[in-house]
A and B are shown apart, each in its own frame.
Chain A
Amino acid sequence: MKHRPFFAGLLIAGSLFASHAFAADADQIKASQAWIRVMPGTLPAGGYVTLANHSDHAVSLKGASSASYGHVMLHKSSTEGGMGRMEMVDSLSIPAHGTATLSPGGYHLMLMDAAKPVKVGDKVSLTLNFADGSTLVTDFDAKPANTVDAADAPMDHAHH
């Protein structure tokens, strides 16, 4: 009987210690240049973002979700061998004190089953999910279909 309180106390103390000592992954990530390519009607769209990791350990992005889309999946595109193809990926690692970029032609979020058509200029809230279970809510700017990259402003045709 005397040991039970001791074990319980140890577990509680350990748990408190752990949660106090390690911040959630999401808190270590800064999202920037988040945008969505607006597609006609409810066609699938690409979501793109730059993720900077300010922690001392790699952080793993597992996917995302949104009230605006029925399905959001983490994908990677390639044009190796002259073929355009796309595949689902389980996670994307953001290195310690480093950056991972989801950009057209590479890693991206595939956004499907739009609850309603997204319009250029909208801000769409997406929840980014990390391996430790923490989440980061980020607003993605809805940009025209013919946007080439995050720095491509509508009507701006300056050379990149």
Chain B
Amino acid sequence: MHFKKDFDFVHVSKYFYMISIVLTIVGVICLSVFGLNFGVDFKAGSNVDVSLSKSLTISDINPIIEEIGVAEGTSITPGENRVNIRFNEVLTEDHDKQLKEAILKLDSTASFEVNTVDTQMAKELARNAIYAVLLSCIGIIIYVSIRFEWRFALAAILALVHDAFLVITVFSIFQLEVELIFITAVLTIIGYSINDTIVIFDRIRENLRFAKLKTDEDLVVVVNKSVNQTIKRSLYTALTVFIAAFFLFMFGGESIKMFSLAMVIGLLFGAYSSIFIASPFWLLLKGKQKNTKVGKAS
């Protein structure tokens, strides 16, 4: 695959802006209406994952939980040879023991994973997660501003916030569980998305050195040329990382399923935004700068 003729990315970007704006509005609506389905890490309580040699149903598990006396607000999600029980209350050691004993009676090969998070801890984890995301963004802005210029930094941040937000939106729409590891996924997506954007920006910067910029049209040519020169690398790298994330999602351990899914979605948005959002947005900012210069000169 080799593009004989340069594809006009700048020209089509306005359609993609529209798509992204619509998706963002959908995201804002979804988040305010449905919110996110927080797991124990952020909501406190206990999460019990049981791996079994047979499939248990809700009616198998319910009597056990009622007997222990922690049934209120508990949700049971049975799966093939496994069952997930989510308690709104923090499971005490005694409850934990009783629950395990009761399930072991039904299936002696059962293996458990229990996560318990105390309310105060949950708040702290959530706060740290927000700090981490903000701090990453600040770090990136500083680095990109030093190495490039603030317009690149702004465009890069816009693209990565866009990616992170859309992944959160997808999790809100489908009410997928958001655990601590999800934040790791969001941060990794940010890291990947910026990586992807930087490669294109590097090329724009390089091409700018040799370009004679007289009109806005010249800038458009530089951006289009740069994206075209790096498009194959963008696609190939997105593909290799996608392969890794996809197989982790399909076959990887249960507790990183949601993480891998977030990665898969984030990668796709990351590749998309680097090409269609970040560079054209930089052009928009740069174009404004040129116009004001021209305006002052005349």
Binding partners A and B:
no
